[in-house]
């Protein structure tokens, strides 16, 4: 079980629960076609942004398989919301999870996603006790692939045209990290 004492602090970010005040910024970045190009959903309109925020407001703990921890990435100096990050517990039996993230395009190139996703890996391995955590992405999403590689995750699979998304067949790429690999990497740091 993972019920974090929020907000979490990383070197440059606060990872906090979403609030109703986050609606405008969430709608702004998740409403952009360039942000949602490789995601499963279309750019958010007002209704989709409200529905997504309602889900995110409830995702503050991981108590059972299927639960998702979904946190806002915030710059502590300004309180500005720059994106969101998540950890999902996908299997209790196999002790597996998944990470994901979406960044506001005005904040790319600063390493915020890598920093926030590393904290999700820490929570998954060190707190939840997971054995394996994956990151799945559209095969064309080179920027996300670079993030997962920076996290020390290994590219394990490239599934050709395995999903029909937004009217086209897309490839899925899977990266993964094992708990022993995490421990070895963090012991060296």
Backbone angles phi, psi at 164, to 5 degrees: -100, 105
CA–CA dist 134, 142 (Å, integer): 16
CA–CA dist 61, 52 (Å, integer): 17
Tens digits of pLDDT across the chain (189 residues): 889 999 999 999 999 999 999 999 999 999 999 999 999 999 999 999 999 999 999 999 999 999 999 999 999 999 999 999 999 999 999 999 999 999 999 999 999 999 999 999 999 999 999 999 999 999 999 999 999 999 999 999 999 999 999 999 999 999 999 999 999 999 877
3 state DSSP class of 138:
strand
Task: Note down the domain range covering 73.
Answer: 8-188
Q: Please count the structural domains in the chain.
A: 1
Is position 131 within any domain?
A: yes
Is position 3 within any domain?
A: no
Is position 161 within any domain?
A: yes
Is position 135 within any domain?
A: yes
Can you give the pTM of this predicted structure?
0.96
CA–CA dist 116, 73 (Å, integer): 7
Is position 80 within any domain?
A: yes
Backbone angles phi, psi at 94, to 5 degrees: -100, 5
Provide the token pair at 141. Answer: 């999403």
- Non-local (6+) Cβ contacts of 169 within 8 A are 161, 163
Is position 102 within any domain?
A: yes
Q: Are strands 132-138 and 96-103 parallel, antiparallel or unpaired?
A: parallel
The answer, yes or no, to whether the previous bond of 95 is cis (omega within 30 of 0) is no
Is position 1 within any domain?
A: no
Is position 2 within any domain?
A: no
Provide the CATH number for the domain around residue 118.
3.40.630.30
């Amino acid at each position: 079980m993972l019920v974090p004492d929020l907000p979490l602090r990383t070197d440059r970010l606060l990872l906090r629960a979403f609030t109703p005040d986050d609606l405008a910024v969430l709608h702004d970045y998740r409403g952009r076609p360039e942000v949602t190009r490789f995601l499963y959903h279309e750019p958010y309109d007002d209704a989709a942004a409200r529905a997504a925020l309602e889900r995110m407001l409830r995702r503050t703990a991981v108590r059972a398989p299927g639960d998702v921890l979904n946190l806002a990435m915030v710059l502590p100096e300004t309180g500005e919301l720059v994106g969101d990050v998540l950890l999902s517990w996908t299997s209790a039996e196999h002790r597996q999870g998944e990470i994901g993230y979406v960044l506001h395009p005005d904040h790319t190139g600063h390493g915020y996603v890598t920093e926030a996703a590393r904290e999700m890996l820490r929570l998954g391995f060190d707190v939840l006790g997971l054995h394996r955590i994956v990151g799945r992405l559209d095969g064309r999403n080179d920027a996300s692939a670079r993030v997962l590689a920076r996290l020390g995750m290994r590219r394990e699979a490239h599934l050709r045209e395995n999903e029909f998304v937004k009217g086209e067949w897309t490839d899925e790429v899977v990266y993964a990290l094992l708990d022993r690999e995490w421990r070895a990497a963090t012991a060296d740091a």
